[in-house]
Chain A
Amino acid sequence: MMPIAARLHLWPWSCASGDETVDLSTGTAHFDFYGSPVISLIEGSHIFLSSRQERFIALGPPFRSIIDGLICQLYQTPQGVISNGKKGGKLHVHHDATRSFLNLEPEGALPRFEGSDAGGKPLDSELATTILYWAQYFDELLEKAKKGNAQSVHLDWTKVLAHLLALRDQETGKPRRALIVDIAERMNRRLSQTVLAARRILIRERRLLPAGRLEETDSSCLRWLIRQPGNSVPEKAGPRQHLLGIARKETFDVHENRILKDFLLRCREEGRRYVRRSFVENPAYRATSRVQMVQTYSNLCVQLSRVAHLDQVELPIPGTAPNYVLLHDMRYKNVWQWYKKLLRRAEEEDRLWDWQARTWTDIARVLVSLALVNHVRELSEGGKIGLKDICQASLRLHGEQLLGCRAASGSEPGPLHVIFRDNDELRAQGVLEVVHPDLAEQHSIVSHLGAMGGHLYLVIRPLGHHHPAEVIVLWAVHTAAANDPPDWMHVGESAEAAIKSYQTVLNLGRFADKPRVRGLVLASDLQAKTASCEVEKKNLMLLTVPTEPRLWMTAVEDITLALDELLQEIFAWA
């Protein structure tokens, strides 16, 4: 039993909809899964993923629930709860020093693994593979940011857009890039040399040696000799005529070689996985140079891992710190760098899967931000709506995912100067502010919109007129994680109804600057090859967006047009 008010909402906007809300007071809930359910909890509670003790990050500012008038807070649910079933399906909630458990039992979530390979290892599902590509996309952005300054985590939005353009233009018809591709490209030539000329050391050990070959002893050996029965040395040497002495031995079993061996094994596995994934994606990819290269590299790893002198090398103890050789020897330094990335990727895979809905919202925010940048570049002149940068901003990236998110809050572009023209005549002006839900509490308008569960807010404030501010709420729903695609019209109606009911609540609210609200829904679609506008209403647009990063540029263009239309609607009063 839950001692506090807790509810699950099937869509992020469903807070006010009784039909789309499931009461969690019993501690267990059966519900239909559409990709991005959210949980609303009474303020002051904390919710954790039981399997990793990860504390959830709130979505947007707190709000007063329409249902019971309590101050509540929204949280996005992790995919691990939904699809892992027994493994990680539990959440626990802390409130006032009491802890209670939640068990969610959804219907219609895609699994992480599908079937198994010849060795019995489970194979990644298409969705799981896609999510790895999302992580790869952010890694590439981070690498780009670090060009020129290894400390930098900032990348100009124009460069992010350029990267997406390059991704579209260059990568069509090729299998996707992955970490193993980078490793294969850079390590293919060097690895053989490193393994074949692996570092070895000479160690001294005490062992029984034939008496005639004894060259060196020490005090321990002498003590051993004294303890042996017999009066003379030959007598003490016994029937086999062996004495304890010091022998020198060459060994490869050192820390750097243990890492090297583990690296080879991991590269082999990762290479096989990549080739398999590429083949599943498109059998024709097997013939591409990229897959061929990874295949060759994987084979090389297999061969090198079987080199005789690595047989005696044991596997490293997890978490062991690097030694001097790994940090400073040029050959091993490279191995260590890539090995670290491989390890981190392996560690992150579980988390990425669990928090994929948050990753999708992160991506949606990036896409909308890019759409604004694209609008400034492409549509600022000539069209009815012109956007101009007041200041410049850059995307700030996290080195590691933060509950699925890689883009830092507050690094969205803007504020932008919005100019509305009609027949080349300036009709109205405004300022567009982009508000991340993590910072919404600090925003004078968006702080009142916590119940909307928006993943990004575009606030347009008219300049020089007493027209109310308008807010475009972005909802990024991860419908790709659901078994069957939903009925888009139905989804659109649900969102529109939510907007209407929120607008009514806002109009009744006691605060200044009551805004008018519109919605933009970006739904992920695993099968889609292009973005398409599924629902277009006066105050809402629903676009499906492909999950494949190479197709995101087209999505950005479509979102740009959608935003342009919404802005035109907003300035229709002028």
Chain B
Amino acid sequence: MGMNTNIAGCSAFGLRDAVVTTEGLSWNAGFFLADALLPGRPFGAIRTGMKAEAERIHSGLPWPPEAQVHTGMPLRRAPISCVWRSLVEAVDEQARWKIGEGISFPLARILAAHVLGLMESDGEERTSIVIAIPNDLDELGQESLLYELDRSGFSDARLVWRPIASALTWLEDAGQDIVPQRLGTDDFILVLHMGPDAVECTSFRVKVEEYQGLQYVVPKRKRPKSTSELTGFDWACCALDQLQSIPAEGVAEFWQAFTAFPEIWQCMANIEWKNDELPRIWGHSKAWSFWNPNREELVRELRTVRCGPSRLLRNAIGQSCQLSGTKTRDLTWPEQLKQLTAECLEQAPPGKLIGMIVDGPLALSTAPLWLRDCFPQLEKRGLDTSGPYDSPELGKLWCAPGNTAIAKGAAIFGRRLKTGEPTYLDALPQLSLLVKRERTLHLFPLVDAEDVRGGQEYTNSITDQFVIEAHQAQLDVILYRGGTELDWLLPASSTDRLDSHVCSTTAGLALGASSMARHLIRVLSSTRATLSSLRTLPPKELSFVEFNQLIRLAEQEKKILKSLQKLSIEHGSTMVEYIKSFQTLYDGKDRDSGNTEKTNLPLKKVSSIFPLPPPRTMPVDINVRISPASGRAKMEVIPEEKSFLRGRHVFVDYATMEDLDELPTSGQGWPSLEELTPHSDESVWNVHRAAAERFLNTNTGSLLYDPLLDRICSVLRAKPFLNEYGVGFYMVNQEGSAGCQAGMEIVQIISRAVARHAESLMSSTSFVGRNVRQTGIIRLPRERLEQLRRLIVRGSWLMGATPEPLLIPMRYVLQDKLRGITWGMVVDAAGRAFTTDDDLSILLQAVVNRIAKRGSLPLPMQSINALCRVLMYRPNGQDVLDEDTVYTLLEETCNVLDQHSRADRFKAKFFQGIRLLLYLLRCRKRHPGFLEKESRRAQELMRKLDIYESGLKSVLTGVRRNSAVEIIAGIKDFVNFAGSTAILPLLTAMAEDNDDLAAN
């Protein structure tokens, strides 16, 4: 921007557009919905302003054919507000307006033409311009807009956020009254924009900045989390949809009332109609009549119509432009606006509300009724809501109908930029690059600045993270539009980020919902893996029914995701984001099954092309430059030796950007933790409440005791419930928690009962012989021992919630202090019930001692299962294993597997051994050198796995054979630090397979 240029601020969202110059001149467009008329050929000129309004093309008139508008036909007339909204919604896409026959126009070009038309019609000499943009327009949208403005001749055009512009106008007048010393850090302004393209409510903190000895109060913007959910055009269109004079399928009639007639807009803005212009000629599908609406009826419809997207508008423009617009709500528009204001106020900083601006062409010159309903809340936050509202004053409400305030703010922004005065503070868009460090993929944030001044450039540099290979002229990088919050999604080998993220993200949520979310992570890949294994089968071996069932299951999983997403809205945004992130992951993978849905992975691959390839492998730095509201970050790739580029600069070329089909493979060195998903349906539990209470009140000597104990046990260890989608849920999870409040209560009752019974069985009267302190040996009568055994085996299904009194005898047995109870049963029970480090050490030591004692006999299956459970379900499972013990366990597991393999017994027990083998790899968390890739033991293990594989191939058939082969291959990958969680559900299915299936 030159020093002598006159700067114009422009607010052009398609209704009552305004241009204000720094010299104070202002110009307003008329009160009609502005359209752009697109040419019929790709390089024609776009007509805007009055020219477009007067043209008949796609005006909705019944004659001539070029004027007609029908459902399902592309349009050459583009309402500017819809174009803005579509550009905002496009986010990462190059959005275009389609006119049919393969011709389309970038939305940004249409908007640039509209701005150009506006600047020409104001009659002023060409000036530098600052254009207000919606608060939620993303970087690609900004960049394309700037590019198209440049093409139109505005090479030095600037963009400014719409609410910031309003705030600057307000601060220009009211800011002088602010006493900086009295300004709290959390004091804020509220800006409510009522525009045709969006109704957005934004709050800004304000901050005092010094420049040349003067103090400036500037707004401090935060990036919006999502796009605004209300649009003014949907409000108008919903009201028109309801008008009796417009037929239900009357797209043409609706279109004229929407784009050509100003009455609906005037009603919304409470502007008087010009009666001499009414009635207007109104074209119907095959006839003509007069448009002479009843104002009261229109106002009533505006007040009572439900908030949501307009059906007729979507029918009209659906073929030209995809528009989500307003989300469906069960409230009227005024109620929704009230709620929007209230929500914005709730999410606003905790300080004092020092001013509120209501602007936009649909704003009124006084406070509307729905806003008056919010007055108590506003007053509570410190706003003086007494009128008048026509001037910006500190601590008061300012109603600024029209776009002039925004345009003026844009001009102020331009002027301040020119003079170097502070403008506003902005949070830059988060951007990260995916880098690989120590076998692990990480997201490296490119932008770490807290706030940047509006109009100023932020730079950063990434060094020592990338290299370009010798003789290769292309460097590929993977971009993520965000910070490091998705780090947990990346396949990791050295950390359990997935596990920790799962726990931290779902912490604080309802147990059922969080557990279900965690469940999905594990189950979804199961479906995928099964499908992929099915695909590898020869057609003749493929059971059609089975295949279809699996396909259906996959679809049902997706349905669950969607319903869960709906549910999760109630649990706050974190949950929504969590589920969404996972769904993108799922959708991305699901494409393999023939689903053509677009990948929504938030990662993009971008390349930078070098004019000449480097002569050697060359480390490169990446320099990032970015300004607020100025498009995407410019990333320059700077090689260590620049000489081979001969002075040329190489940038990351966004034109090469493409969706990342799959996450980059870094591979995992050990499996992640598993989790049992508890049922969240209370009715499942309520039927057992009476039994639990009876069990609590029954003594061990009672005749009813044993049947009740069996029943309680069968409740706790019930087979997974298949819900309506066919997904299994357990009664309690590995921690002994139920998925609902009723369940938790019943579990507590059972736990109390088990504790009571255990205590009674272990009571002092039952000791035989010398004191335990002297001999360390406890003896119990046989009948007590039998009762205790039964209680241990059944009570331990309380999993992590097993009460301490029952844990005590288990410890005694494992420490060989209590004899007479089958050791294997207790080990199995301890695998379920033990959670603490000490307990786990006891269990482990017991297993190791047993191995030493039994010599060449194989490890019992109870031990295998117990160890496996500990490593599968307990985050601290691997921490109690030292390296020697691990190798011992590995050796013993291999012996068991060898035995099965030699006997060609590849049933569930074999796969339980395989599962332990896999989970032993979790010891790498504690002992990174465990089974190093090139080590002798690793090679030996690989050789054994090869033997198992060949055995499996010769014995098993069909789906089981494929699954087994995939599992062995997956374990090899894990050993080689290239594992994927996809095999885990497969392995679980095989290890817990029943005999019928095993015989298959």
Partners in one complex: yes
Q: Select from chain B the residue with minimum beta-carbon distance to A445.
A: B286
Which of A390, A436, A439 makes the CB contact (< 8 A) with B281?
A390
Q: Is A289 an interface residue (CB 8 A)?
A: no
Task: Check A391 against B54 for contact (C-beta < 8 Å).
Answer: yes
Task: Check A410 against B66 for contact (C-beta < 8 Å).
Answer: yes
Which of A391, A392, A431, A439 makes the CB contact (< 8 A) with B65?
A439
Q: Select from chain B the residue with minimum beta-carbon distance to A410.
A: B64
Given the complex, which residues of B lie within 8 Å of A414, measured CB to CB? 63-64
Which of B44, B61, B64, B289 makes the CB contact (< 8 A) with A151?
B44
Q: Select from chain A the residue with minimum beta-carbon distance to B280.
A: A390
Q: Is B725 an interface residue (CB 8 A)?
A: no
Interface string of A400-436 (1 = CB under 8 A from B): 0000000000101011010000000000000101111
Taking A392-B56, A415-B288, A463-B288 as given, write out 8 further A-B residue pairs in contact, using a Cβ cutoff of 8 Å, ordered by the A residue number: A149-B44, A152-B44, A390-B56, A393-B64, A410-B65, A442-B65, A443-B63, A459-B63
Given the complex, which residues of B lie within 8 Å of A455, measured CB to CB? none
Task: Check A415 against B55 for contact (C-beta < 8 Å).
Answer: no
With contacts A390-B56, A392-B56 taken as known, whether A463 is within 8 angstroms of B281 at the C-beta atoms is yes
Q: Is B290 an interface residue (CB 8 A)?
A: yes
Query: Can you list 26 contacts pairing A with B, beta carbon distance less than 8 Å?
Result: A149-B45, A151-B43, A151-B44, A151-B45, A152-B45, A389-B54, A390-B61, A391-B56, A391-B59, A392-B55, A393-B56, A410-B65, A410-B66, A414-B63, A415-B56, A415-B64, A415-B67, A415-B288, A431-B281, A431-B288, A435-B64, A439-B65, A443-B63, A463-B281, A464-B289, A464-B290
Residues of A97-151 at the interface with B, using a CB-CB cut-off of 8 Å, are: 149, 151
Tell me the minimal C-beta distance from B144 to chain A in angstroms: 23
Q: Select from chain A the residue with minimum beta-carbon distance to B44.
A: A151
Q: Which 8 A-B pairs have the closest CB atoms?
A: A391-B56, A392-B54, A433-B63, A431-B288, A444-B286, A410-B64, A390-B281, A417-B281
Q: Is B41 an interface residue (CB 8 A)?
A: yes
Given the complex, which residues of B lie within 8 Å of A439, measured CB to CB? 64-65
Task: Check A463 against B290 for contact (C-beta < 8 Å).
Answer: yes
Please report the C-alpha to C-alpha distance between residue A414 and residue B56 in the assembled complex, in whole angstroms: 9
Given the complex, which residues of B lie within 8 Å of A431, measured CB to CB? 281, 288
Q: Is A461 an interface residue (CB 8 A)?
A: yes
Interface string of B272-298 (1 = CB under 8 A from A): 000000000101001111100000000
Which of A417, A436, A461 makes the CB contact (< 8 A) with B287?
A461
With contacts A152-B44, A390-B281 taken as known, whether A461 is within 8 angstroms of B288 at the C-beta atoms is yes
Q: Select from chain B the residue with minimum beta-carbon distance to A463.
A: B288
Interface bracket on B:
20 to 34
Task: Check B67 against A391 for contact (C-beta < 8 Å).
Answer: yes
Tell me the minimal C-beta distance from A328 to chain B in angstroms: 21
Given the complex, which residues of A lie within 8 Å of B286, measured CB to CB? 444
Interface string of B2-46 (1 = CB under 8 A from A): 000000000000000000000000000000000000000101110
Which of B43, B44, B45, B61 makes the CB contact (< 8 A) with A415?
B61
Given the complex, which residues of A lie within 8 Å of B63, measured CB to CB? 414-415, 433, 435, 443, 459
Tell me the minimal C-beta distance from B33 to chain A in angstroms: 16
Please report the C-alpha to C-alpha distance between residue A417 and residue B288 in the assembled complex, in whole angstroms: 11
Given the complex, which residues of B lie within 8 Å of A461, measured CB to CB? 287-288
Task: Check A151 against B41 for contact (C-beta < 8 Å).
Answer: yes
Please report the C-alpha to C-alpha distance between residue A459 and residue B44 in the assembled complex, in whole angstroms: 32
Tell me the minimal C-beta distance from B377 to chain A in angstroms: 48
Given the complex, which residues of A lie within 8 Å of B65, measured CB to CB? 410, 439, 442
Given the complex, which residues of B lie within 8 Å of A442, measured CB to CB? 65
Tell me the minimal C-beta distance from A122 to chain B in angstroms: 41
Given the complex, which residues of A lie within 8 Å of B290, measured CB to CB? 463-464
Task: Check A434 against B64 for contact (C-beta < 8 Å).
Answer: yes
Given the complex, which residues of B lie within 8 Å of A434, measured CB to CB? 64
Given the complex, which residues of A lie within 8 Å of B54, measured CB to CB? 389, 391-392
Given the complex, which residues of A lie within 8 Å of B288, measured CB to CB? 415, 431, 461, 463
Tell me the minimal C-beta distance from B728 to chain A in angstroms: 61
Q: Select from chain B the residue with minimum beta-carbon distance to A512.
A: B286
Given the complex, which residues of B lie within 8 Å of A435, measured CB to CB? 63-64
Please report the C-alpha to C-alpha distance between residue A190 and residue B185 in the assembled complex, in whole angstroms: 76
Tell me the minimal C-beta distance from A412 to chain B in angstroms: 7
Please report the C-alpha to C-alpha distance between residue A393 and residue B288 in the assembled complex, in whole angstroms: 19
Please report the C-alpha to C-alpha distance between residue A463 and residue B67 in the assembled complex, in whole angstroms: 19
Residues of B851-878 at the interface with A, using a CB-CB cut-off of 8 Å, are: none
Please report the C-alpha to C-alpha distance between residue A390 and residue B283 in the assembled complex, in whole angstroms: 10
Interface string of B583-603 (1 = CB under 8 A from A): 000000000000000000000
Which of B43, B44, B55 makes the CB contact (< 8 A) with A391?
B55
Interface string of A365-401 (1 = CB under 8 A from B): 0000000000000000000000001111100000000
Please report the C-alpha to C-alpha distance between residue A393 and residue B283 in the assembled complex, in whole angstroms: 16
Given the complex, which residues of B lie within 8 Å of A389, measured CB to CB? 54
Interface string of A444-471 (1 = CB under 8 A from B): 1000000000000001010110000000
Q: Select from chain A the residue with minimum beta-carbon distance to B289.
A: A463
With contacts A390-B281, A391-B56, A464-B290 taken as known, whether A433 is within 8 angstroms of B64 at the C-beta atoms is yes
Please report the C-alpha to C-alpha distance between residue A464 and residue B290 in the assembled complex, in whole angstroms: 8
Residues of B54-108 at the interface with A, using a CB-CB cut-off of 8 Å, are: 54-56, 59, 61, 63-67
Please report the C-alpha to C-alpha distance between residue A143 and residue B59 in the assembled complex, in whole angstroms: 28
Given the complex, which residues of A lie within 8 Å of B287, measured CB to CB? 461
Please report the C-alpha to C-alpha distance between residue A431 and residue B59 in the assembled complex, in whole angstroms: 16
Please report the C-alpha to C-alpha distance between residue A435 and residue B63 in the assembled complex, in whole angstroms: 8
Interface string of A48-78 (1 = CB under 8 A from B): 0000000000000000000000000000000
Residues of A173-200 at the interface with B, using a CB-CB cut-off of 8 Å, are: none
Q: Select from chain B the residue with minimum beta-carbon distance to A431.
A: B288
Please report the C-alpha to C-alpha distance between residue A368 and residue B45 in the assembled complex, in whole angstroms: 28
Tell me the minimal C-beta distance from B637 to chain A in angstroms: 37
Tell me the minimal C-beta distance from B722 to chain A in angstroms: 58
Please report the C-alpha to C-alpha distance between residue A367 and residue B55 in the assembled complex, in whole angstroms: 21
Given the complex, which residues of A lie within 8 Å of B56, measured CB to CB? 390-393, 415
Please report the C-alpha to C-alpha distance between residue A444 and residue B65 in the assembled complex, in whole angstroms: 12
Please report the C-alpha to C-alpha distance between residue A414 and residue B65 in the assembled complex, in whole angstroms: 12
Given the complex, which residues of A lie within 8 Å of B281, measured CB to CB? 390, 415, 417, 431, 463
Task: Check B44 against A412 for contact (C-beta < 8 Å).
Answer: no
Task: Check B41 against A391 for contact (C-beta < 8 Å).
Answer: no
Residues of B223-252 at the interface with A, using a CB-CB cut-off of 8 Å, are: none
Please report the C-alpha to C-alpha distance between residue A408 and residue B257 in the assembled complex, in whole angstroms: 29
Q: Select from chain A the residue with minimum beta-carbon distance to B287.
A: A461
Tell me the minimal C-beta distance from A464 to chain B in angstroms: 7
Please report the C-alpha to C-alpha distance between residue A28 and residue B54 in the assembled complex, in whole angstroms: 52
Please report the C-alpha to C-alpha distance between residue A442 and residue B66 in the assembled complex, in whole angstroms: 11
Tell me the minimal C-beta distance from B654 to chain A in angstroms: 29
Chain B CB within 10 Å, residue with most, of A149, A390, A417, A439: A390
Please report the C-alpha to C-alpha distance between residue A444 and residue B289 in the assembled complex, in whole angstroms: 16
Given the complex, which residues of A lie within 8 Å of B55, measured CB to CB? 391-393
Please report the C-alpha to C-alpha distance between residue A442 and residue B65 in the assembled complex, in whole angstroms: 8
With contacts A431-B288, A463-B289, A464-B290 taken as known, whether A391 is within 8 angstroms of B61 at the C-beta atoms is yes
Residues of B256-314 at the interface with A, using a CB-CB cut-off of 8 Å, are: 281, 283, 286-290
Chain B CB within 10 Å, residue with most, of A151, A152, A391, A431: A391
Please report the C-alpha to C-alpha distance between residue A436 and residue B288 in the assembled complex, in whole angstroms: 19
Given the complex, which residues of B lie within 8 Å of A149, measured CB to CB? 44-45
Q: Select from chain B the residue with minimum beta-carbon distance to A394.
A: B55
Please report the C-alpha to C-alpha distance between residue A391 and residue B64 in the assembled complex, in whole angstroms: 11
Tell me the minimal C-beta distance from B213 to chain A in angstroms: 52
Chain A CB within 10 Å, residue with most, of B55, B288, B289: B288
Tell me the minimal C-beta distance from A419 to chain B in angstroms: 11
Tell me the minimal C-beta distance from B292 to chain A in angstroms: 11
Q: Select from chain B the residue with minimum beta-carbon distance to A391.
A: B56
Given the complex, which residues of B lie within 8 Å of A436, measured CB to CB? 64
Given the complex, which residues of B lie within 8 Å of A433, measured CB to CB? 63-64
Please report the C-alpha to C-alpha distance between residue A392 and residue B65 in the assembled complex, in whole angstroms: 14
Interface string of B525-562 (1 = CB under 8 A from A): 00000000000000000000000000000000000000
Tell me the minimal C-beta distance from A61 to chain B in angstroms: 14
Task: Check A412 against B289 for contact (C-beta < 8 Å).
Answer: no
Please report the C-alpha to C-alpha distance between residue A129 and residue B226 in the assembled complex, in whole angstroms: 70
